[in-house]
Chain A
């Protein structure tokens, strides 16, 4: 048993090294991709907003400073009383030269509130390319130019971005950013590089409007929790390539609480289980810190087990630091020390997905069914 557990820990470390290699390859490839001035079609940026995220003004302002000839930004809100509207007005004041419009519509077509929020705005977009970008995303000037360059290949249907968590001040935000920059980022790059599976992350998605319309528009994903993953799958089924642009988009998490970190990743884990099925079990292999627990309890504190534990305790933080450095989100030594705590919390959240498929989202209790489709619990009870 001890030997088996030692094998698992070794496999887990190899898995982490593989993740690191995949991230390195993705980042290196991205550096080669540069904006081509011959491919600069006008783009509509769709920004669904809900409340004031950390550093919302800077995040929105970063999209007004893109080094790209022609684009519009469409901010989508579900209510005129949303506090984000004040920030949007401030951005409009500060960047009067930008094409900015605000669409407010309490549209409830499906179960996914983010998609509901975007549908009225999507209908107002005017340009042939649409970029969907989350409100807590912040981008550098070259972001759009580098993403659009992928469309030189006519087979490309959707361009997704690497996401790195930045700005953490609170413990919850540091945990969240650490998890994004290690496990989530590593897994996305590994699936893309090794298995050819592109896990689309909704933080930033660029596509041709005519392609999305041909697939049914945003209405086609209105009932999915993972509308991003589902869109990616639909593009692939339609024979289009889905690629990752290595230009990392910053997910700004500054003051998030620990409870918010746990609740967000509990939702994501349930979503991944509903999509991946039994393959979800493999995820635990990316968590050597957690695997030390059964090893140490079975090994009874033997010298061999302690040596393995010591080795992992040195390697995993080094691996975490390398991942952060690769994506340009350097981390302090004391924050690296949070890594083992984060990995143990992540393992707990990983297990929780087996016990519940329920999610609370904006006042509604929903159940995640196969493929991340959302079903209202109240309707199930009635039916």
Chain B
């Protein structure tokens, strides 16, 4: 089974650890597949505006550089650790209301997708380039200051748009998602080194981008595991 984390942030957005170091943290711990998914913020929110001013968001102007850097690190990760690195982003639409806010992972992305587009257009652009679409932390969490409930509240309308839903994020487990029969993933939502120890996905497939994507879409035999650094009582 491949040990995977598909939700990782670096200093390209609001993560505390630079990309190269993130690759080393996961590679040194024996991971098979990771996806780096820095935020693409919507501009019509306070966080988005400030992230843009502080250069802490992926935008059209730095997207090419972001992809190039990821490709270079992907080469290093494969050569040194045999670890696959998939380029991604987290489309981040934050609003005052938690009911309106939503975040989505686009995995294996090749062209920039703006967070200012309507959701239907975002999904269309992502599908058009063969990216995987994952609803992240769709339910109430312990660690998010501001929950993102829009897709869960409108799951009947959007369920067909997603290749998977996060059933677990960092240390939160969403039992509502697990009971829904939606395809699932579990991710660490890594922002700092301690977040390595969090929920992860185990995939029964070959270590290649296409095989991983197919396995997530198919979602057969997908398992989740709480990656800990000791026994339960330590």
Contacts and interface: CB of A to CB of B under 8 A. Distances in A.
Contact of B28 (A51, A56, A89): A56
A86 B30 contact: yes
Contacts of B24: 55
Contact of B81 (A52, A57, A83, A363): A57
B28 A57 contact: yes
Given A52-B29, A87-B30, A90-B30, A362 B193 contact: no
B3 interface: yes
A349 B231 CA distance: 26
Interface in B192-207: 193-194, 196
Interface string B1-34: 0010000000000000000010011011111000
A93 interface: yes
A169 B28 CA distance: 16
Contact of A363 (B21, B228, B231): B231
A174 B116 CA distance: 42
B230 A362 contact: yes
Contacts of B130: none
A254 B28 CA distance: 12
User: Interface majority SS on A: helix, strand, loop or mixed?
Assistant: loop
Given A52-B229, A257-B194, A57 B234 contact: no
Contact of A86 (B3, B193, B231, B233): B3
A362 B3 contact: no
Nearest to B24: A55
Given A83-B229, A86-B3, A90-B82, A362 B234 contact: yes
Interface string A76-89: 00000001101101
Contacts of B28: 52, 54-58, 87
Interface string B160-176: 00000000000000000
B112 interface: no
B229 A93 contact: no
Q: Which of B196, B229, B232 has the most CB of A within 10 A?
A: B229
Given A55-B28, A56-B28, A87-B28, A93 B82 contact: yes
Contacts of A87: 28-30
A83 B234 contact: no
Contacts of B233: 362-363
A107 interface: no
A255 interface: yes
Interface string B49-75: 000000000000000000000000000
Interface in A46-86: 50-52, 54-58, 83-84, 86
Nearest to B28: A57
A55 B28 CA distance: 5
Q: Which of B25, B30, B228 has the most CB of A within 10 A?
A: B30
Nearest to A79: B231
Contacts of A363: 231-234
B150 interface: no
Contacts of B231: 362-363
Contacts of B21: 169
Interface in A29-47: none
A254 B194 CA distance: 11
Given A58-B28, A83-B30, A87-B28, A51 B230 contact: yes
Contacts of A362: 230-231, 233-234
Contact of A52 (B30, B82, B194, B232): B30
Given A58-B28, A87-B29, A255 B230 contact: no
A50 B230 contact: yes
A224 to B, nearest CB: 20
A90 to B, nearest CB: 6
A124 to B, nearest CB: 23
B203 to A, nearest CB: 14
- 9 closest A-B pairs by CB: A86-B30, A363-B233, A255-B193, A51-B229, A87-B30, A57-B28, A52-B29, A55-B28, A51-B230
Interface of A: 50-52, 54-58, 83-84, 86-87, 89-90, 93, 169-170, 254-255, 257, 362-363
24 contacts: A52-B29, A52-B30, A54-B28, A55-B24, A55-B28, A56-B29, A56-B30, A57-B28, A57-B29, A57-B30, A57-B81, A83-B227, A83-B229, A87-B29, A87-B30, A90-B30, A90-B81, A93-B82, A169-B21, A169-B193, A255-B25, A362-B233, A362-B234, A363-B233
Given A55-B28, A84-B30, A90-B81, 4 more contacts: A52-B28, A55-B24, A90-B82, A363-B232
